[in-house]
Every structure is written in C-alpha cells, then in structure tokens.
Amino acid sequence: MSTVRHLLGEKGKEIWSVAPKDMVLDALKIMAEKNVGALLVLDKDKLAGIFSERDYARKIVLEGKESKDTPVEELMTREVFCIAPNRSTEECMALMTDKHIRHLPVMENDKILGIITIGDVVKAVIAHKNFMIRDLENFIAGTGYGA
C-alpha cells in the first residue's frame, strides 16, 4: 500500500486557501475556478480551519446568511484532522471514514505539504488492488510475479 507522501507526489502539492476574513463568495469563486470541494483556511500561514461545500450548503441558507457579506471564519470547520506524509492510504481511508471527512491536509513539522481527498485515496486503493490482481493472474498463469 502506498504512503501519503507517494500520493502527494502523484497528484501534486498545490494548496488552495483563503484567509478567515475573506468573504464566502470569494471562497466559492476560488473553489469553482480550481474545481475543488474545499479550501484550507490559513491565518498567517497557520491552519485555522477548512471551508468546504458542505460547510456552505449547511450553514449559509439554513442560518439566513448571505455569501457576499459573510466571512469564511463564520462557516469554516475549525477542528481539522490532518495526517503525516509517512502514513498509508489505508490509514487515510480509516480516518476519513471514522471522522466523516472528505479532505485531509498533510502536515509535517507544522508545515502543510498538501491535501488528500477521498477521491485520491479511493483511486490509490483501486490501483493497488488492480496491481495485486495482475500479479495473482501472472502467478496463476505461470509467468511469475510482476510480469
């Protein structure tokens, strides 16, 4: 099974973020432009929270707020679960499942290295399973492992 570091190497380490005082409408525009479902909320390069489509869907209309007048800090999720780059994709999946989250920042020595999504993890798990199936098929066919 691959590690989070390996996953980041394949997908890239781009991080899209907003500041806590940025307006929700501006955050939504970035999310649409970058085609992402969440943004990290950084306060002077420190992780302050995460703002996701789920935060928007559940908190703007239901609380009678306006996107153009509401700062991200009012809607963001403040409790952010992170993972270290040496952890496995299986550990990512377990954490995401247990905490009901879809985005997992990767942190090392208080530095953000990137972000892993549930889609990244599922893709890696499927690739690993397909590799295992090919190896078993080759073994059964008598051509050996890894052929």
- Label residue 62 by pLDDT band (50, 70, 90): confident
- Find the mean pLDDT for residues 35-62: 92
| Residue 65 pLDDT grade (very low, low, confident, very high; cuts 50, 70, 90) | confident
Q: Is the pLDDT of residue 130 over 80?
A: no
Rg of the chain taking only CA atoms, in angstroms? 19
- Residue 145: pLDDT above 70? no
Q: Would you list the domain boundaries of the chain?
A: 4-141
Cα distance between residue 12 and residue 41, in whole Å: 19
| Top-confidence residue, 143 or 29 | 29
CATH topology for 4-141? Answer: CBS-domain (3.10.580)
Task: List CB contacts of 89: < 8 A, sequence separation 6 or more.
Answer: 1, 2, 3, 4, 7, 121, 124, 125, 128
- Nearest-angstrom CA–CA distance, 11 and 70: 32
